[in-house]
Amino acid sequence: MSKINALENIVSVTWLNNHLQDENILVFDATISKVVGDISALSNSKIPGSQFFDIKKKFSIANSSFPNTIPSAEQFEKNVQALGVNNDSIIVIYDDHGIYSSARAWWLFKTFGFNNVAVLDGGLPEWKAKDFSLEDKATNHSHKKGNFKAIYKPNNVVYFESLEAISKDDNYKIIDARSSDRFNCIVAEPRVGLRSGIIPSSSNLPFNKVLDENKLKPKKELQTVFKNLAKKDQHLVFSCGSGITASVLALAATVAGYNNSVYDGSWTEYGSLTIA
């Protein structure tokens, strides 16, 4: 088996199929159900050898007031080591939707100092479209405890306490990944009891605008998308409902060459802690 030394932020299903047996590669299924969408989209099969990356139970704070809250470095390190991640591992992450929660897992790895991680472009739908091999989702794979050490990267994350200053600072641009109807308060928020609204000075870029069906748009197209919203030297801050689709925009912006962060609490936190 060969060994890979470096990885881009996005890889094709053909690339993964060709490297699936490489000795230092690990594949994670980071699927979660969409807040808005059809649960029937979830698959009963998975990419052979892949392990479940449990965003909800293992890689979020369990007792947080808000969903999908970023875990501590200690929690992340412990649970990633249990999946067999070493400092020299190569990680590819996918989900059942195409590119959705896989981007959140990618962002978590980046935020805790692991760089050789990529999202599978098109996810499981694209893998199936190429008719590559599958196995039952219930199949378990275990690995020896890894030696990965987490190093928290604070510039990747924005917290509620910083938002007021950021919203008034021209060096930053806040971009909201929710649908235009949610952003413009035309439809109610899907979470019961959460008010509609927007973060002051934010602009809207629904996360599906950086996708072409299930796949990420090419780099040049992404650069055009962000050029229409922000200056190249602005630091982009992404928000959404609860930090999932904001991470899709973070992936796209990284590919396009923009410095960026994710507001971890996103609208669920902001809408709960502020008054309209």
For the annotated catalytic residues, the residue numbers are 240
Whether 239 contacts 199, CB under 8 Å:
yes
Residue 157's nearest CA partner among 202, 94, 113 is 113
Which residue pairs, CB below 8 angstroms and at least 24 apart, start in 14-19? Answer: 14/130, 16/47, 16/92, 16/120, 16/127, 17/127, 17/130, 17/132
Distances in Å between the alpha carbon of 136 and those of 43, 129, 151, 215? 9, 17, 34, 24
H or E segment and range at residue 90:
strand 90-94
Quote the tokens at residue 21.
């047996």
Length of the chain: 276
Going 196 to 202 to 204 to 207, the CA torsion angle's sign is negative
Please give the structure tokens belonging to residue 109: 């790895």
Distance CA 242, CA 264 (A): 7
